[in-house]
Amino acid sequence: MTTPTPLISVIMPVRNGMPYIADAVQSVRNQTLGGLELIVVDDGSTDCTRAYLESLDYPEMVVIPSQARGAGAARRSGVKQARGRFIAWMDADDIAHPERLEVLAGYAERHPSVVAVGSQVRFLVANQTRTACAYPFLHEEIVAGLRTGRPTMCNSSLLIRADAIRKVRMQPLTLGEDMDLLLRLSGVGRLENVGDVLLDVRISRSSSSYTRIAEQRFGTDFAVACDEARRSGRAEPERELYSRAWKRRPLWRRASLRMFVVHQRQFRESVILSAEGRTLRARIALACSALFNPSAVVYQLRRKLMSSRENKHELQQLARAD
């Protein structure tokens, strides 16, 4: 007997995901929307992740072994196996709110020109949540931010049309692959975010967003360079040649990268310290973060002012749709 085609394929790459993967998988099982399949790509785990997954009685879950090639390669493997009309990313240490996929799929169904939709998120430190940065709603601001290297969508919150993701090339970047994919998708259709907080994103001092900021920045810069080349009708740069040039860039640009790394790390440190109850140190870390990148502070203040207007506009659109 053939199984029904799922509406959404949730793709979850994992390497040594214990103990957090249990909550991540359960949050997918708790979704209010039916018609899901969960594809977990085990990216060479050496802990008991695989044993835990195999112990679950969850017929809608498929576990695919991989050879420790990184989260990006794991997602590409998952896409090849996905049967759903939509593909949702899910990190193995995050927690989806029960209504996440229902809200995003409903939005995508109402807006057929949208090829990828994301949500607002909260930070999760241990068992405590903290307010995260606000993401813009509309395609124009999202793409404008992406083209300057600014993350204007949360990768792990995304719901993407399967036919759209198969139209573009998913580059095998170690880090920065999410930025590259979004810029490529922006050439196929619209990118939008909803105003709802639908995902808790775990941060820690061991996460790649804390320890590998410089590498992420290289991947982002390369993705932006490829996008610029496509829009100007030039061939995309070769990654190896771009990497060599990036390492030889002027001293002031290297100093700028170091300032960016300090800014990002101190911002995350402020969130972690706040969750640990070390309020004074958290405020000092936040001040350091702002000092090393004032433009990010200005951007977020502007986003907060615009967010209430965008929420009002979205509610008006829903009212007209009803």
155 to each of 40, 108, 117, 140, how far by Cα in Å? 17, 16, 10, 18
Decide yes or no: CATH 3.40.470.10 for domain 8-204. Answer: no
pLDDT class of 44 with cuts at 50, 70, 90: confident
pLDDT at 310: 55
More confident site: 88 or 131: 88
pLDDT at 131: 87
pLDDT at 110: 96
The burial of 58, by beta-carbon neighbours within 10 Å (0-12 exposed, 13-18 middle, 19 or more buried), is given as middle
Hey, what amino acid is at 58? Y
pLDDT class of 322 with cuts at 50, 70, 90: very low
Question: What's the mean pLDDT when you consider all of the chain?
Answer: 89
Residue 318, pLDDT above cutoff 60: no
Residue 209, pLDDT above cutoff 50: yes
Q: Could you tell me the residue ranges of all domains in the chain? A: 8-204, 213-321
Q: Which residue has the tokens 């502007």?
A: 302
Q: What is the dihedral of CA 160, 82, 33, 61, to 10 degrees?
A: -140
Query: What mean pLDDT is predicted for residues 192-200?
Result: 96
Residue 33, pLDDT above cutoff 90: yes
pLDDT at 127: 85
Q: Establish whether the linkage from the previous residue to 294 is cis, with ω within 30° of 0.
A: no
More confident site: 194 or 173: 194
Total Cβ atoms within 10 A of residue 169: 10
Residue 165, pLDDT above cutoff 60: yes
Instruction: Report the relative pairing of strands 114-125 and 159-161 from DSSP bridges.
Output: antiparallel
pLDDT at 295: 76
pLDDT at 309: 59
pLDDT class of 311 with cuts at 50, 70, 90: low
Token digits of residue 301: 């203040």
Query: What mean pLDDT is predicted for residues 302-322?
Result: 55
pLDDT at 154: 94
Question: Considering the entire predicted model, what is its pTM?
Answer: 0.89
pLDDT at 199: 97
Q: Cβ(26)–Cβ(90) under 8 Å?
A: no
Query: What mean pLDDT is predicted for residues 146-170?
Result: 94
Per-residue pLDDT tens over the stretch 254-307? 999 999 899 999 999 999 999 999 999 999 998 998 888 887 766 666 666 666
CA neighbours closer than 13 Å in the CB half-sphere of residue 107: 25
Percent of the chain whose pLDDT exceeds 70:
90
pLDDT at 1: 46
